[in-house]
Chain A
Amino acid sequence: MIKIEQLSKIYGQGDDQVVALEPLDQQINAGEFVSIIGPSGCGKSTLLRLIASLEDPTSGSVTLETANLKRPVGFVFQDAVLLPWKTVAENIRFPLDTTGVSRKQANEKVAELVELVGLKGFEKSLPKQLSGGMRQRAAIARALADDPPILLMDEPFSAVDLLTRETLNDELSRIWQKTGKTILLVTHSVEEAAYLGSRVMVMSPRPGRLKATYDVDLAQPRGEQTKRDPKFLDLVSELRTLMREMTS
Chain B
Amino acid sequence: MFLKAIIGLVGITALWGAAVPIFDVPHYLLPGPIDVAERLIFLFQRGDLAWHIYVTLSEVFGGFVLGAVVGIAAALAFARFPLIERVLTPLILLLQTIPKIAIAPLLLLWLGLGAAPKVALVAVVTFFPVMTAMLSGIRYMNKSYADLSHVLRLSPWQRFWHIELPAAIPTLFAGATVATTLAMTAAVIGELMGANKGMGFVLATGQENADTATVMGMVILLSFVGWALFAILDFARRRVEDRFL
Closest chain A residue to B146, Cβ basis:
A54
> How many residues on the A side are at the interface (Cβ–Cβ under 8 A)?
20
Q: A94-B162, A98-B162, A126-B243 are in contact. Are A81 and B153 (CB under 8 A)?
A: no
A73 located at the interface, meaning its Cβ lies under 8 Å from any Cβ of chain B in the complex: yes
Closest chain B residue to A146, Cβ basis:
B152
Interface positions, chain B 156-175, Cβ under 8 Å from A, are 158, 162-163, 166, 169
In angstroms, Cα B243 to Cα A83, docked, is 10
B158 in contact with A98 (CB, 8 Å): yes
B151 in contact with A84 (CB, 8 Å): no
Among B147, B153, B155, B244, which residue has its beta carbon within 8 angstroms of that of A77? B147
Which residues of B sit under 8 angstroms from A54, Cβ to Cβ? Answer: 147, 150-151
Q: A84-B243, A84-B245, A85-B244 are in contact. Are A71 and B145 (CB under 8 A)?
A: no
Interface contacts (Cβ under 8 Å), in number, total 47
Which residues of A sit under 8 angstroms from B147, Cβ to Cβ? Answer: 49, 54, 75, 77, 81
Size category, B interface: 10 to 19
- Dominant SS among interface residues on chain A: loop
- Dominant SS among interface residues on chain B: helix
B144 located at the interface, meaning its Cβ lies under 8 Å from any Cβ of chain A in the complex: yes
In angstroms, Cα B163 to Cα A220, docked, is 41
Interface string of B174-217 (1 = CB under 8 A from A): 00000000000000000000000000000000000000000000
In angstroms, Cα B148 to Cα A219, docked, is 35
Counting chain B CB atoms within 10 Å of each CB, the highest count among A49, A71, A74, A98 belongs to A98
Closest chain A residue to B143, Cβ basis:
A81
Q: A77-B144, A79-B144, A83-B162 are in contact. Are A95 and B152 (CB under 8 A)?
A: yes
A228 located at the interface, meaning its Cβ lies under 8 Å from any Cβ of chain B in the complex: no
Which residues of A sit under 8 angstroms from B155, Cβ to Cβ? Answer: 98
Q: A79-B144, A98-B162 are in contact. Are A84 and B244 (CB under 8 A)?
A: yes
A83 in contact with B145 (CB, 8 Å): yes
A53 located at the interface, meaning its Cβ lies under 8 Å from any Cβ of chain B in the complex: yes
Closest chain A residue to B142, Cβ basis:
A81
A242 located at the interface, meaning its Cβ lies under 8 Å from any Cβ of chain B in the complex: no
B154 located at the interface, meaning its Cβ lies under 8 Å from any Cβ of chain A in the complex: yes
Which residues of A sit under 8 angstroms from B150, Cβ to Cβ? Answer: 52-54
Q: A79-B144, A83-B145, A84-B245 are in contact. Are A74 and B162 (CB under 8 A)?
A: no
A178 located at the interface, meaning its Cβ lies under 8 Å from any Cβ of chain B in the complex: no
Interface string of A68-96 (1 = CB under 8 A from B): 00110111010101011100000000110
Provide 18 A-B residue pairs closer than 8 Å at the C-beta atoms, listed in order of the A residue: A49-B147, A52-B151, A71-B151, A73-B151, A75-B147, A75-B148, A77-B144, A77-B147, A79-B144, A81-B147, A83-B148, A83-B166, A84-B243, A85-B166, A85-B243, A97-B162, A98-B155, A126-B243
Shortest 3 CB-CB distances between A and B: which pairs? A81-B144, A75-B151, A85-B166
Q: A81-B147, A85-B244 given. 11 additional CB < 8 A pairs?
A: A52-B150, A53-B150, A54-B147, A54-B150, A73-B151, A74-B151, A81-B144, A81-B148, A84-B243, A97-B162, A98-B158
